[in-house]
Amino acid sequence: MSSHMIIQQLQQIEAVMREHGHWQTQSPEPAAFASTEPFCLNTMEPLEWLQWVLIPRFHALIEAGAPLPQNFSVTPYYEVALPATTPGHAVLLLTLGQFDALFQDPTS
Quick check: is 107 in a domain?
no
User: Residue 106: pLDDT above 80?
Assistant: no
- Give backbone dihedrals phi and psi of 25, rounded to 5 degrees, phi first: -95, -15
Range of the domain at 22: 3-101
pLDDT band for position 2 (50/70/90)?
A: confident
pLDDT tens-digit readout, 11-68: 999 999 999 999 999 999 999 999 999 899 899 999 999 999 999 999 999 999 999 8
pTM of the model: 0.90
Cα-based distances in Å from 35 to 5, 26, 28, 69, 74: 29, 18, 12, 20, 17
Domain CATH for 39: 1.20.1440.40
